[in-house]
Structure 1
Amino acid sequence: MSPNHVTELVDLLQLERLEDNLYRGQSRDIGTRYVFGGQVLGQALAAAQETVDPLREAHSLHAYFLRAGDIDAPIVYSVERARDGGTFSSRRVLAIQHGQPILNGSISFQVPEHGVEHQTSMPEVPAPEDIEPLHPLPPDELARLPVKLQRWLGIDGPFEFRQVWPRDERHPAKRPPIQHIWFKLTSPISDSAILHRALLAYASDFHLIGTAMLPHGISYLTHNVQVASLDHALWFHRPFRVDEWLLYSFDSPTAQGGRGLARGQIFSRDGQLVASTAQEGLIRVRGD
């Protein structure tokens, strides 16, 4: 896999400063119909971090996706400095395209400190080296799909994923709403903890709502299914590197009313719980 995709993603998270508290980011077409939600999360975090003492670390992010993002247009990030206390800093971020908000979020930062510690145990799963890499679709099958899906399914992206229980998204079978996926960047990056957090925010949007679809035998490729992320929560617990293997463990406790809820825990290879996520998404199954 080419390190150029990793460099491109890292560059995507380096925002242009327009004015105090105002930044602009570009978009990357990864084959989705609209801007990938993880990109907006990562850039929103990067924008907020620009307004905070770099010694203060992001520990939580809560965001609502308001509108679909236009891949062909830049995104402007407006940051409100809600509060700077002795230990915590709070920021509100509004992502804007074509004069309309597409995401609003709140991000909290903290001066590192020591305290009580406990965590849940990492699930017992095979090591990433013991799992077969995902194989691309045969060219003839890929050619029969819409151009956007060809790009999504055939892309040589910046992250490598290894699924403990692989599933064919084109012909999904019903199964319990639990899955475990190893992931990491395909090439090394710098030691910047700020950059690693922004990249984890980007990757945290993968596979969450897909977990809520597992019991129903549907996927984002099912022709009569409409899927969209509604909100996203992310908590950072401990140091990590996204260029080393991380285990993303998902479950979905409920789906109802056209919405599904999914939760995630992200572990380092040595079993440290480094981050947690939650997301509610729109899941509509329309008549044929």
Structure 2
Amino acid sequence: MPTVARDLLELLDLEELDVDLFRGRQADTDRQRVYGGQVAAQALIAAGRTVDQGYAAHSLHSYFLLPGDTAVPIIYDVERIRDGRSFATRRVVARQHGRPIYYLTASFQKAEDGFDHQDVMPDVPAPEDGVDMIGLMRAGGAPDADALAREWAALEARHLGTSRRGLPEDPEHPSRARMWVRISDRLPDDPVVHLAAFTYASDMSLLGASLAAHDTNPAKVQMASLDHTLWFHRPFRADEWWLYDQASPSAGGARGLSLARVFTRDGRLVASAAQEGLIRPRRD
């Protein structure tokens, strides 16, 4: 998996096979399935390659259909749904072995002025006061900590706590998790790169927030992302600290729903995220 920003940039640099057809390389990993954030980020890059300059992604909606095979590249087929004066829409299907493994619909918009407001950033400790996420997992005896350390090596994550451990009590929101995240090395100034890098990182912990209210070992839960949605509100850099303020409003039927607000260190609300995933207790 990417160990420095350069490796992540290489992962996001798709090969153009034909008009609206791209091939994404795989990271060097011993994991048995492709990390979902990688597929989403590569699909966003593919969609963005087909949009005229002046349009910026403001949202993506996607479904994970099948586990990705880490041994072969992924083909991204882009369909140009709409090109308007203000908005452009793209649909991307990611394929392996002739089968779709992931679908993405992304919307792009030309910059406009308009009404402006946002939620207030919660009062939280600084990134320097957080706990290294991988170190915390190792201390807790997580069996896949070393594998995740390799998978997320291009990221820095500082854990601030969950609703059960470390966060102030909030009876109205029983399942919460907060952390600071950034890409570990400096990225180019291209805004598309920062959106894709953020998309890559956004899948790392979101589903876990749906377990924060429960006294359970994640190793005893079968977890898989089912869908993933992002909204981009304001430009920001993925290589500078952003707060991942996550909460799960509901879990049931072996599925958990997690929502998140993304704030920069100076308090700007720059993105929102939503994900539903499988959280099935293992029966063995």
TM-score (norm: length of structure 2): 0.90
Corresponding residue pairs, total = 276
* 1:94-133 alignment, distance < 5 Å: 94-133=93-132
Structure 1 unaligned regions, length at least 5: 169-174
- The whole-number CA distance in structure 1 between the counterparts of 2:224 and 2:134 is 26
User: Structure 1 residue 122: deviation in Å?
Assistant: 0.7
**CA separation of 1:31 and 1:159: change in aligned 2, threshold 3 A:** farther
Question: 1:202 maps to which residue?
Answer: 200
The AA in structure 1 aligned to 2:215 is G
Q: Counterparts of 1:178 and 1:141 in 2: how far apart (Å)?
A: 19
**Map of 2:156 onto structure 1:** 160
Letter of the 2:36 partner, please give it: G
Q: Which amino acid aligns with 1:210?
A: G
1:181 to 179, 182, 193: 179
| Structure 1 residues 210 and 191: CA distance shift in structure 2, 3 A | same
- Partner of 2:52, secondary structure, is coil
Deviation of 1:218 after TM superposition, in Å, equals: 2.7
Specify whether residues 262 and 139 from structure 1 end up closer, same or farther in structure 2 by C-alpha distance, changes over 3 A only. Answer: closer
In structure 2, the partner of 1:14 is 13
Q: Relative to structure 2, which stretch is displaced further, 100-109 or 278-287?
A: 278-287
Give secondary structure in 2 for the equivalent of 1:165.
Answer: strand
Aligned-residue Cα RMSD (Å) equals 2.6
Q: Which amino acid aligns with 1:68?
A: P
Preserved contact between residue 130 and residue 179 of structure 2 (Cα < 8 Å)? no
Query: Would the alpha carbon gap of residues 213 and 70 (structure 1) be closer, same or farther in structure 2, given more than 3 Å must change?
Result: same
Which deviations, in whole Å up to 9, do the C-alpha atoms of 1:70-108 show, x marking residues without a partner? 111100000000010010000000000110100011000
- Secondary structure (helix, strand or coil) at the match of 1:8 reads helix
Deviation at 1:268, TM superposition (A): 0.6
SS of the counterpart of 1:79?
strand
Structure 2 residues not aligned, in runs of 5+: 165-172
Aligned equivalents of 1:35, 1:284: Cα separation in 2: 20
Give the direction of change, closer, same or farther, for the CA distance of 1:198–1:125 in structure 2 (3 Å limit). Answer: same
Distance (whole Å) between structure 1 residues aligned to residue 223 and residue 137 of structure 2: 26
Q: Answer yes or no: is 1:44 the counterpart of 2:43.
A: yes
Please report how far the alpha carbon of residue 141 of structure 1 lies from its aligned counterpart in structure 2 after TM superposition: 9.7
Q: Which stretches of structure 1, 4 residues or more, deviate above 6 A after TM superposition?
A: 137-142
Sequence identity percentage: 46
| Structure 2 partner of 1:270 | 266
Aligned mate of 2:257, from 246, 256, 261: 261
Q: Secondary structure at the match of 2:236?
A: coil
Structure 1 residue aligned with 2:275: 279
Instruction: Report SS of the residue matched to 2:208.
Output: helix
Conservation of the 8 A alpha-carbon contact between 1:268 and 1:274: yes
State the alpha-carbon separation in 1 of the partners of residues 11 and 209 from structure 2: 27
Q: Is the 8 A contact 1:56 1:110 kept in 2?
A: yes
In structure 2, what is the Cα distance between the partners aligned to 1:67 and 1:101?
7
How far apart, CA to CA, are the structure 1 residues paired with 2:226 and 2:200? 16
The alpha-carbon distance between structure 1 residues 138 and 20, as it changes in their structure 2 partners (threshold 3 A), is: closer
Give, in angstroms, the shift of residue 32 of structure 1: 4.0
2:18 counterpart letter in structure 1? E
Distance in 2 between residues matched to 1:154 and 1:76, nearest whole Å = 24
Counterpart AA for 2:69: D
